[in-house]
A and B are shown apart, each in its own frame.
Chain A
């Protein structure tokens, strides 16, 4: 009985992230538009975009290889699996022991690895510029993320995300300096990894300033749909991760009744709304930095992560 309900929770979780991900992006876009006093597209626009892309034919560059055609599915699958392992409304995920936080970071790394390769496959200079900048950003963001994982894992005594969330939801955590540093580091990494302002502009198509968009410039049709969907999922994943590690209030822990699931789903959606509002405000209030200022931004995230971890090594009190 327990196993069945766990599997149901896991499946529900996988479907939920899949269904909610485009909506989250739509909400952020809408809020950004309203903050700029524009009317903005409907929050359902990302779904329409995906459907439209799926219906279109693929225009493939003449010298695109099999890798170029496989990559959209590989990246989508890797991100989806990673997203399915992050607790959203309940912690008792059936398969959470199959991969911990470090593995989730590495899964996202796999997705990025293939996307960067696909950017170089056709052999245009835009693909190259996108890939080259993406790997530079990743080379700083990934260690920052891992250090934040170390810090959180040392506090919770585990790298298993469900265990971490359960521990964080319990009352024994309290306010900690190291936790605050880890949170800021994670938010900075999340901004960089999701190609948001100030690192990259998700709305730009000005060639020389874009990073992520330059990398996927040659994609079209259903391939582009998969990559866009992957990007939506990634945003959802990072927001869920921040929520479940740092704000796990009302998350359902193991052995709770069906009513608590309803409460925690509602709480989760509310938290998503707050997060997207904060993201929209932040993006409206800041400007994109030059590419070569990005290392300073991410270097700060790296140092925060390192400092948080060091504090944990030095004393248990922080």
Chain B
């Protein structure tokens, strides 16, 4: 009898322990929210949220804490990464899902996945050693190689595995009947890919791109290493508007990492505020992706 009660008792205790474990993540999210917003509050209060996000001047020494330049920096680098990385990722995804013979796909897939495991600091180092010197050869005033273009190239490589594998999954999860029906109607394989498979997999592909975007916005160390870190609004240096990509810049993530170790007072609080802005941006992007993914699964 006592034995049976003991068993039931253990069972009951473990159920509670496991439920508490399941709720740990919620607790962490709440704590992160409370602490970052709490430490950001003085800056929001003293400077004003709107003033912070709409002012381009970041000069902690003279009490100016506008982060619009960093918002723009993160935005333009992410845009560049998406423009460079997404076409390649989508091409690779279609290649793996529909075109490559299985033995080739079996070798290509792990190679691309390996890119996801390489530490971001190694990408940063590779960027400094290889990509920056190449970008430096572009003739433009003030171009030292460190800037938006180098950062976008590095970031494009970093989001490649994420976007490729989720898009491939989306294409593969299109029901086989769609493919068979289209081929049976006399469409070529390419017509099937273009007119049937890609449209059917579109929600999944879009959410893959959005997740890549989120990853790009959150990247820190590789960005610090190649973007130049000047807290200025990226601008074109010549008549050619494309030269904006040669401008130095600073990302939201970089702003925090570069200055947090020595910042005090309002300055420190403004860095926490930068974190809150980043957090909110990424939350918005991720929920958009989750929404589309849910719609895509049907």
Q: Do A and B bind each other?
A: no
